[in-house]
Amino acid sequence: MTDLRMPNPVAAPSRSRAEERNDSSATDAPVGSVSGEVSAVRGYLLSRGNSAGSDRFFAGAMLLCALAIFALVALIAVELMTQSRLSWHAFGFSFFYKFNVDPITHLPLFWDPVNGVFYALPFIYGTLVTSLVALCIAVPLAIGLAVFLTEMCPLWMRAPLSFFTELLAAIPSVVYGLWAIFILVPLLREHINPVLMAIFTEPGLTHLLGWTGLFGDNGLFGGVNLGLGLLCGGVILAIMILPIIASLTREVMRSVPNSQREAALALGATRWEMIRMAVLRNARIGIVGSVILGLGRALGETMAVAMVIGNSPEIHLSLLSMGHSMASVIANEFSEATSDMHRSALIEVGLALFLVTIVVNAFARILVWAVTRGAPARVQ
């Protein structure tokens, strides 16, 4: 009894509304569109009836949410520009390449908030060098990991390994920084840097390759070994961007159709030849895209770098020297900036970072999209 009665209150009005719509579509809608595309009929039906008003309101609200994303990016850009106007007017483009010379020590002077000197060159240098070091370490490892996971790994290991790499991505950057301060810095100082210094200041090599400028006491690994510095920042960045590059590279490699692999194997290729000819060659644009995406992440990474880079606005060739990156200088000095000019200069550094990461990310997205777009649907 109840079973029969239950559906009635719900079914009755809906049926009548449905009939109403049917009638109106039968009388008003052009016949051609009915047989053609479903969405046109649905669109027509939805524009009629009691709920059209609330439907339109709902669609508008959702559109507003989507437009809010536009508005936010625009707002961030406008806000950064207006807040950095002061330093832009004072320094112009020379903000990014000029420097003063200290009258006493005759060393270049880039950044001196007390005396109102603000030139951003050392931060750009620090960001570029740490990102480059990170890419040099992370890219081969990430590609190796991705190759192993997609092509060689026994099935039972695949899930735990990919879970592990995902976990690596979930660890907050401040925790990486904490680990770097207490483990990585001593490790570099005691064990790794001395080896690198010994190699790069070895007299024979210095004599042979001294013309590159990378060897000797003023070379890539000269100077004082404190553990902190550009190299340490680069290493911790490498650990942080590895999971991103690895997972995207895996994604791109998986979108290479299996028939390509089978064709290579059928021609008698060994596994490595198959990977090189069928997988890596087909996926190379996507791999470049994922590397650039990792670069975008490395450029903007703040906390871990700020904790180990040494925080001094200078430029030295040595990777063991202290440095400063664009993000780390903002993190370190922003809340203590007292003068308007100091704050404005920091915001200008932020604006530059914003623009650079947008360009880098957009480029990488386009590359990744270009590769995965034509990929057939994966069957899993």
Partner 1 sequence: MNRNRGRNLRSLWRSGVDHLATGLAILATILVVAPLIAIFFYLVYKGASSLNWAFFNQIPKPEGEVGGGMANAIVGSAVVLLVASLFGIPIGIGGGIYLAEFGRGTKLANAVRFTADVLNGVPSIVMGIAAFSLIVVPMHHYSALAGGVALGIMMIPTVTRTTEEMLLMVPHSVREAALGLGVPNWRSVLSITLKTASPGVITGCMLAFARVAGETAPLLFTALGNQFWSVSLNHEISALPLQIYNYAISPYDDQHRQAWAGSLVLIALIVIAVSLVRFVTSRGTLKGAS
Binding residues among 67-96 for partner 1 as defined by CB under 8 A? 67-70, 72-73, 75-76, 79-80, 82-83
List the interface residues with partner 1, window 153-172 (CB under 8 A): 161, 164-168, 170-172
C-alpha–C-alpha distance, residues 8 and 2, integer Å: 10
C-alpha–C-alpha distance, residues 308 and 301, integer Å: 12
C-alpha–C-alpha distance, residues 322 and 276, integer Å: 40
Q: How far is CA 50 from the centre of its chain?
A: 47
C-alpha–C-alpha distance, residues 364 and 358, integer Å: 10
Q: Which stretch binds partner 1 (CB under 8 A): 90-98, 141-149, 205-213, 223-231?
A: 141-149
**Cβ nearer to partner 1, comparing 230 with 327:** 327
Q: Which stretch binds partner 1 (CB under 8 A): 92-100, 216-224, 255-263, 331-339?
A: 331-339
Cα dihedral 332, 335, 338, 344 sign: positive
Shortest distance (Å) from residue 332 CB to partner 1: 9
Candidates 62, 199, 208, 285; binder of partner 1 (CB under 8 A) is: 62
**Cβ nearer to partner 1, comparing 216 with 235:** 235
Candidates 335, 338, 373, 379; binder of partner 1 (CB under 8 A) is: 335
Q: 59 — phi, psi (to 5°)? A: -60, -40
By CB under 8 A, residue 135 contacts partner 1: no
Joined together, the tokens standing for residue 108 give 């270049």
The answer to whether 304 and 288 are in contact (CB under 8 A) is no
**Cβ nearer to partner 1, comparing 249 with 318:** 249
**E strand or H helix at 142:** helix 121-147
- Looking at the chain, the number of H-run helices and the number of E-run strands are 19, 4
Shortest distance (Å) from residue 80 CB to partner 1: 7
Candidates 299, 319, 320, 345; binder of partner 1 (CB under 8 A) is: 299
Candidates 2, 8, 35, 54; binder of partner 1 (CB under 8 A) is: 54
By CB under 8 A, residue 48 contacts partner 1: no
By CB under 8 A, residue 6 contacts partner 1: no
End-to-end CA distance of the chain, in Å? 47
**Cβ nearer to partner 1, comparing 230 with 346:** 346
By CB under 8 A, residue 347 contacts partner 1: yes
Q: Which stretch binds partner 1 (CB under 8 A): 66-74, 191-199, 206-214, 372-380?
A: 66-74
**Cβ nearer to partner 1, comparing 40 with 141:** 141
Q: In the block, which residue shows the tokens 């524009």? A: 47
Shortest distance (Å) from residue 263 CB to partner 1: 18
**Cβ nearer to partner 1, comparing 171 with 205:** 171
By CB under 8 A, residue 140 contacts partner 1: yes
Shortest distance (Å) from residue 183 CB to partner 1: 7
Q: How far is CA 178 from the centre of its chain?
A: 22
Q: Which stretch binds partner 1 (CB under 8 A): 13-21, 111-119, 198-206, 257-265?
A: 13-21
- Say which residues have a Cβ less than 8 Å from residue 120's Cβ, sequence separation at least 6: 95, 96, 110, 111, 326, 345, 348, 349, 352
Angle of CA points 372, 135, 207, to nearest 5°: 145
By CB under 8 A, residue 302 contacts partner 1: yes
- Say which residues have a Cβ less than 8 Å from residue 359's Cβ, sequence separation at least 6: none
